[in-house]
């Protein structure tokens, strides 16, 4: 019996984002969350379901200056980064 192992280029939760849709208009994936926390406004064209989802999501995030953090379940603070910065971090860590 052979076990085949497949290498994933990204972590599972990162694969949920479609590369073509991940950073529309050069905005990072967390743009709507940060904007809602700072200004209390929704993105243009947001449906009622989008608004409800965003209100639930923001409970785990908080801004500190220009940086957005997410509280993990063990209360570790995770810094939100865009795709380009995430690639740079991965390359630096794995060199």
Give the pLDDT confidence of 26-75 residue by residue, as tens digits: 788 899 999 999 999 999 999 999 999 999 999 999 999 999 999 988 88
Q: How high is the pLDDT of residue 7? A: 61
In this structure, are residues 38 and 29 in contact, taking their beta carbons and an 8 Å threshold? Answer: no
Domain that holds residue 42: 26-93
Q: Is residue 38 part of a domain?
A: yes
pLDDT for residue 23 is more than 90:
no
Q: Is residue 50 part of a domain?
A: yes
> How many domains does the chain contain in total?
1
pTM confidence score:
0.68
Token readout for 62 is 């908080």
Q: Is residue 81 part of a domain?
A: yes
Q: Is residue 86 part of a domain?
A: yes
Which whole number is the average pLDDT over 80-91?
A: 90
> Cα–Cα distances in Å, from 43 out to 64, 75, 89, 95?
21, 28, 29, 38
């Amino acid at each position: 019996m052979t076990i085949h192992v497949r290498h994933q280029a990204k972590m599972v939760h990162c694969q949920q984002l479609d590369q073509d849709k991940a950073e529309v208009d050069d905005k990072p994936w967390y743009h709507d969350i940060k904007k809602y926390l700072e200004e209390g406004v929704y993105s243009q064209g947001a449906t009622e379901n989008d608004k409800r989802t965003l209100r639930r999501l923001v409970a785990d995030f908080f801004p500190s200056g220009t940086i957005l953090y997410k509280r993990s379940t063990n209360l570790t603070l995770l810094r939100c980064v865009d795709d380009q910065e995430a690639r740079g971090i991965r390359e630096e860590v794995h060199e």
